[in-house]
Chains A and B, each alone.
Chain A
Amino acid sequence: MLFNAPSPLEVKILTRRLGLPNSASIETNLANGGYKSFEKSLEMTQDQIIQEVKDSNLRGRGGAGFPTGMKWGFLPRQSPKPKYIVVNADESEPGTCKDRVLIENDPHLLIEGCLIAAQAVGAKAGYIYVRGEYRYLIDILDKAIGEAYSRGYLGKNILGRGVDFDLYTHTGAGAYECGEESALLESLEGKRGQPRIRPPFPAVAGLYQCPTVLNNVETYCAVPSIIEMGGKAWAGLGIPKAGGTKLTCLTGHVNKTGVYELPLGFPVEKMINEVGGGIRGGKKMKAFIPGGSSCPVLTGEEAWPLTMDYDSMAKAGTMLGSGGVIIMDETTDMVKAALRIMHFYAHESCGWCIPCREGTAWLKKLLTRLNQGVGTAKDVDLVGDLADNMLGKTFCPLGDAAALPTASIVRKFRHEFEAKLARTLIAVPDMANKPFVIV
């Protein structure tokens, strides 16, 4: 099922089979070019496959944006240990809902991407780690995997070519932290999803301490079209240094919210006004988050002239992230927004590193106080100080993810915090452990 009408401005590469009748079935997939790239990769050497991916300038689509070809190249060529393919389908960055669209509508694209990655590094088994809430996607994937086995695309001696590859689904159980690669591996090994100290990185010591390729769903889904078109042609879809297309989730105060496949370097203004149909109610855009709630927030004025790519966003002091665009119009209460974002990170902090565990809890308390109109000017400064003190001091990026949006909201929308300051000082009840209800 498609969730929203496509836009004529989309460049449909990964999503080209979406909307076809029965698009999740192997029949539709095969009739529309499915598994052709995998067959092509069987004729290529490992180096050739990795080179095409390097040429494509594909960067990790989960949020960190690490060059995929380089990541694959880090795996040792000769290894006494087995190698693994792991798919991060633990999509839980607030604002992001694209992997779900890909898996639901074209699960065979993901399987094909895994097969090519397995060819590139010599892996014999793979796991798709799906967040617990996406149970129905596991059913869809299991069905697709079954179809691929029965057609000889998975299992022993694939297509009679002497290649073996097994693919399994694995459910999570509700933890944002498991979207972080090393925490995901811990969870996949049956443990609490707490991050590992790196190095070693997963390419050397990943699942069961074996060499592992770990990428986001969309990253794997990009690989078949890279092999089909050739890396350089695929790169040409985007802009220099950022190849190809990116699934972009328009969320928040925009008329046509939805998931759209846009080339990298797409102008923000065109994305909001033409793809998204403009800001809801013709209002002004107050704030803009380019890729999930862990990115620093931009003001509307800062965001309008930018383009959607890694470098443009980095220059503006934020990140392209996961592609979860969050748009806030002029009616948005930024104190409330900051509190809601912090409520999430405080809930999801795994508790391993103190700056994150304590920092998120304190920030939530302070923001609750400010939002209730009983905070003081010192509290506003303290929020900024606490956030700055968390940055770069945790084992995984969750601490930064909590601090970055908060610090930027306080810096850019300080007047809104000041407008809510207490007129008189009164004691504030401890709200830290209560469910989030804004009063």
Chain B
Amino acid sequence: MTFSPELEAKLEKLMNSYPPGRKKSALIPMLMFTQDEVGSITPELVEEVARRIGIPTVQVDEVVTYYSMLHRKPMGKHHVQVCTNISCLLWDGDELYEHACKKLGIGHKEVTADGEFSLEEVECMGACSWAPAIQVNYDFHHHVTKEKLDEIIDSLKKLR
């Protein structure tokens, strides 16, 4: 597999970040960075990452199954993550999540038919003092109301 020149440069820097003989340390960052470009952890990507690091594919697979941000299935272009953990729950994060389900017409870890949006009910993402919070891909949104959520999604729809 080949990646964009920017990603290749990033991966090269990554591989040089660890001491000699410790290349396996690059595994999780490499999966995260390549997933961002490829869209999901495909079987080809698992093989490519294993080849670059020099480990058996099973060692890649056992990591992929462990970490919640690594997906085998492609998520939507805009992955909407709503936190319902305790601090967000106290500011009605659960109602916000249900509102997001209705607004997008999908449930937990589902993708809209056009592939534009996916939804995930996530655990605490470190925005507790500015609850309820959501993340769209890597972007945080704080103090999110139902109206604000609608605005965020509608503005992303216009980007198409």
A-side residues, CB < 8 A to B, are 3-4, 82, 91-97, 99-100, 125, 127, 131-136, 168, 170-176, 187-193, 208, 249-253, 257-259, 293, 324, 326-328, 332, 336-337, 340-341, 344, 347-348, 350, 435-438
Contacts and interface: CB of A to CB of B under 8 A. Distances in A.
A94 B130 contact: no
B63 A251 contact: no
A174 B67 contact: yes
B62 interface: yes
Contacts of A96: 124, 126, 128
Nearest to A350: B66
A94 B85 contact: yes
Interface residues of B, number: 50
Contacts of A332: 90
Given A3-B142, A337-B89, A97 B130 contact: yes
B155 to A, nearest CB: 19
26 contacts: A92-B124, A94-B85, A95-B87, A100-B127, A132-B32, A133-B125, A133-B126, A173-B63, A175-B67, A176-B123, A188-B25, A190-B26, A191-B62, A192-B62, A251-B131, A252-B87, A252-B90, A253-B90, A293-B86, A324-B87, A324-B128, A435-B107, A435-B121, A437-B94, A437-B97, A437-B121
B97 A133 contact: no
B86 A340 contact: yes
B87 A326 contact: yes
A188 B124 CA distance: 21
B90 A189 contact: no
Interface in B22-50: 22, 24-29, 31-33
A250 B87 CA distance: 10
Given A132-B32, A192-B63, 5 more contacts: A95-B128, A173-B28, A187-B28, A324-B128, A332-B90
Contacts of A95: 86-87, 124, 128
A131 B126 contact: yes
A257 B129 contact: yes
A99 B129 CA distance: 12
A172 B86 contact: no
A397 B118 CA distance: 33
A380 B33 CA distance: 45
B64 to A, nearest CB: 9
Contact of A82 (B19, B94, B124, B138): B19
Closest A-B pairs by Cβ, 5 of them: A174-B69, A173-B67, A190-B27, A190-B24, A435-B108
Nearest to A253: B90
Contacts of A191: 24, 62-63
Nearest to B22: A208
Contacts of B29: 170-171
B53 to A, nearest CB: 8
B138 to A, nearest CB: 4
B125 A249 contact: no
B69 A173 contact: yes
A328 B98 CA distance: 22
Contacts of B91: 252
B87 to A, nearest CB: 4
Given A173-B67, A344-B85, A344-B124, A189 B129 contact: no
Contacts of B131: 251-252, 257
Contacts of B33: 171
Interface in B45-102: 53, 55, 59, 62-63, 66-70, 84-87, 89-91, 94, 97-98
Given A170-B25, A192-B62, A340-B84, A249 B107 contact: no
A219 B146 CA distance: 37
A326 to B, nearest CB: 6
Interface in B111-148: 121, 123-131, 135, 138-140, 142
B37 to A, nearest CB: 14
Given A135-B138, A252-B90, A97 B129 contact: yes
Contacts of B97: 437
B86 A337 contact: yes
A100 B130 CA distance: 12
Contact of A171 (B19, B32, B53, B107): B32
Contacts of A258: 129-130
Nearest to A135: B138
B24, B123, B131, B139: which has the most chain A beta carbons within 10 Å?
Answer: B123
Contacts of B70: 173-174
B124 A93 contact: yes
A249 B128 contact: yes
Interface in B6-25: 17-19, 22, 24-25
A189 B108 CA distance: 31
B109 to A, nearest CB: 8
A172 B130 contact: no
